[in-house]
A and B are shown apart, each in its own frame.
Chain A
């Protein structure tokens, strides 16, 4: 079956511009996560959605970052006024439930480069 998909696969933008990154989770998965992978920081949690509950935004690095999940499915991560330190690979993952033993399935990521 289809896995987690992300678009675009690559995004190059200029400093100060806004970007939107999209994630399509596996059908039927109620939990959705965003992570950021960068050389200096490794894999960092950004934000987590579970069903209709309020998202856990505790990992967002600044108020320039936001995310929404529409209809309990597709999610969009928005970065406003991008900075060079935002350059990273942004990974989305989904899981069937919210138990901490549930497997998270990852998408291929979006590589963001801020010039």
Chain B
């Protein structure tokens, strides 16, 4: 069975600081991994996804994530936070082909000026 753990339900950074949101997965098969962002009162928007093509994945809005099999991690980073990055972020793993995403509990990112 697959599962996802997001460490830290709430992360606060200053504008311009590094953003690091942690995600660890458990999967009995090679996983496909996703990061989604949710702004208030909106649906989820895909930031990036790992599909085994490259371990360092670049996404939208300057975010990137690195797949580390040895650490079963897929942490999300951004070199310099912007106020507009304040949102909730979800890591997800895709289970067997043709099934739904399994989401972590989410991490709320706050950005202060």
Contacts and interface: CB of A to CB of B under 8 A. Distances in A.
Interface of A: 4, 31, 33, 35, 42-43, 45, 48, 50, 56, 59, 91, 93, 98-101, 103-109
Interface in B44-70: 44-46, 49, 51
Nearest to A35: B100
Contact of A59 (B97, B100, B104): B100
A42 B100 CA distance: 15
Interface in B2-56: 32, 34, 36, 41-46, 49, 51
Interface residues of B, number: 26
B105 A42 contact: yes
A56 B103 contact: no
B87 interface: no
B73 interface: no
A108 B98 contact: no
Contacts of B45: 106
A99 B99 CA distance: 9
